[in-house]
Amino acid sequence: MSAFAQETLVGDFSDLKPPLSEEEALIEADRCLRCGGVYATAPCTVACPADVDVPTFVAQVAAGDTGAAALKIFEQNILGASCARVCQVEELCEASCVMNSQDETPIEIARLQRFATDWAYANGIAPRKNAAANGHKVAVIGAGPAGLACAGELAARGYAVTVYDERAEAGGLIRYAIAPFRQQSEPLPDEQKAIEKLGVEIKLGVKIDTKEALAEIEKEAEAVFLGVGLGEDVDVKTPGDDLEGVWESLPFIEALKDGNPPEIGRRAAVIGGGNTAMDVAREALRLGAEVTVLYRRTQAQMPAFYHEYEQALDEGVVFNWLTLPVAFKGENGRLKSVECQPMKLGEPDDSGRRRPEPIEGADFDLPVDTIIKAIGQRPREEFLSLIDGLELEWGQIKINPETGQTTNPKYFAAGDAINGGATVVSAVGGAKVAVAGIEAFLQGEKR
């Protein structure tokens, strides 16, 4: 990308995938080959963790039946409108589109899904019908995508559901962490309202962090769903952490999404090689900085999706491979540079990846005004340890993958808390499994 093109990004937090007009949607939907049928599910549907019937909804859009298309999406994914914006379709449905094998661009499934679901909310179409109460009560801890999807699906089946979340607004990481150029907040408020209309009570600003609070919930509810996600950024201590200009990724993004964009100066460095690092780098670019990503391994080993890396590169982010930041240096309490340790790859470690090893005596200082650490999130082990009999593995809640049930039979779980951090649509998919598990548990079915 030219320096001019890069400059045009400054201040531009508009949608990476803008909405389609009606005409564009009809033309795009008409390209779909309608794969799949009674003998084989279409590859795009197979690739969707929420099992959305893509060929059917796309055909409904093409036929001008947008409301039916939206209901087809909602049937499988009550958060279909948010997923249309944030889904990593380049790795999921659109990657599986047969158009790719014809050397054609894949059908723009996400934008068609957005077209249909936005239309539904604009025209007062509810994702689910209200059901008669069945007398059972379920509590949900966490109003992120896992918690909201679980609550909505249960309420649509007649369960009385109360959701608790410590934050002031619902949506979890969609609201507070997902890049604003994917989704600022809308259509979360519509989704929340629709779920509340089904009878779900969402109690915000309520942190469940004591045994007493859990006992209270257990007394009220016959089953509890844990959609608590992960916690704060991984705490990697570096000398100079307290300098002004040193950020952790989640507070940085939250400030940006709350309309208080951090002052980041001319040169920013981002530490990490995951999807969060790619997002933060592209956000810093839009705040006007020249951005360098510092990653201690090489491109081949970075955990970020390749398309995320490519897009960051294309927008002008610079990558310093095999570079470990070892100290932040400043003047008068303000960050001035980062001391970097060049690395080389040694023998494979436990993860099978070659271990980075320092090249002694090769340290250098990189002048920076801002550092953003994007190394990952910590599991919520302290909270989870309050729940009797709940087993964890590497900080992740152990579940039966067929039912979402944890090792404490009353508790079910899905989302980042069980998978260590994945995607919104996988949180929705996991919540659906847990809903079926909770139903079977409460209705006494043997599975």
Asked if 227 interacts with ligand FAD (CB under 6 A), we say: yes
CB of 188 to ligand FAD, least distance (A): 11
Judge whether 290 and 321 are in contact, CB under 8 Å. no
Give the residue with the Cβ less far from ligand FAD, 127 or 180.
180
What tokens appear for 166 in the block? 């410590």
Asked if 141 interacts with ligand FAD (CB under 6 A), we say: yes
Stretch that binds ligand FAD, among 56-64, 130-138, 164-172, 434-442 (CB under 6 A): 164-172
What tokens appear for 206 in the block? 């309520």
Asked if 109 interacts with ligand FAD (CB under 6 A), we say: no
What is the helix, strand, coil percentage profile of the chain, to 5? 35, 20, 45
Stretch that binds ligand FAD, among 66-74, 202-210, 358-366, 401-409 (CB under 6 A): 202-210
Binding-site size for ligand FAD (CB under 6 A) equals 39
Q: Whose CA is closest to 186, among 113, 105, 63, 85?
A: 85
Stretch that binds ligand FAD, among 16-24, 170-178, 335-343, 436-444 (CB under 6 A): 170-178
Stretch that binds ligand FAD, among 71-79, 120-128, 177-185, 187-195 (CB under 6 A): 177-185
Judge whether 87 and 183 are in contact, CB under 8 Å. no
Q: Which of 9, 47, 62, 146 binds ligand FAD (CB under 6 A)?
A: 146
Q: What CA–CA distance (Å, rounded) separates 404 from 344?
A: 42
CB of 230 to ligand FAD, least distance (A): 6
CB of 208 to ligand FAD, least distance (A): 4
Q: Which of 167, 197, 355, 410 binds ligand FAD (CB under 6 A)?
A: 167
Asked if 180 interacts with ligand FAD (CB under 6 A), we say: no
Stretch that binds ligand FAD, among 126-134, 144-152, 343-351, 363-371 (CB under 6 A): 144-152
Residue 422 Cα to chain centre, angstroms = 6
Q: What CA–CA distance (Å, rounded) separates 201 from 199?
A: 6
Q: Site residues for ligand FAD, window 389-428 (CB under 6 A)? A: 415-417, 422-425, 427
User: Which residues have a Cβ under 8 Å from the Cβ of 338 and sit 6 or more positions away?
Assistant: 269, 294, 325, 327, 328, 329, 365, 366, 368, 371
| Other CB atoms within 10 A of residue 401 CB | 11
Q: Site residues for ligand FAD, window 54-93 (CB under 6 A)? A: 86-88
DSSP string, 213-257: HHHHHHHH-SEEEE-----SB-----TTTTSBTEEEHHHHHHHHH
Q: What angle do CA 84, 90, 93 make, to 5 degrees?
A: 65
Q: What CA–CA distance (Å, rounded) separates 144 from 60?
A: 30
Handedness of CA 307, 309, 312, 316 (dihedral sign): negative
Give the residue with the Cβ less far from ligand FAD, 59 or 317.
317
Q: Which residues of 372-386 are buried (b: 16+ CB within 10 A; e: fewer)?
A: bbbbbbebbeebbee
Q: Site residues for ligand FAD, window 30-49 (CB under 6 A)? A: none
Asked if 178 interacts with ligand FAD (CB under 6 A), we say: yes
CB of 132 to ligand FAD, least distance (A): 28
What tokens appear for 260 in the block? 């208080």
Give the residue with the Cβ less far from ligand FAD, 324 or 374.
374
Handedness of CA 125, 128, 133, 136 (dihedral sign): negative
Q: Site residues for ligand FAD, window 231-270 (CB under 6 A)? A: 253
Q: How many residues does the chain have?
A: 447
Q: Which of 118, 165, 283, 439 binds ligand FAD (CB under 6 A)?
A: 165
Asked if 166 interacts with ligand FAD (CB under 6 A), we say: yes
What is the contact surface with ligand FAD in residues (CB under 6 A)?
Answer: 86-88, 141-147, 164-167, 172-174, 177-178, 182, 207-209, 227-229, 253, 276, 279, 380, 383, 415-417, 422-425, 427
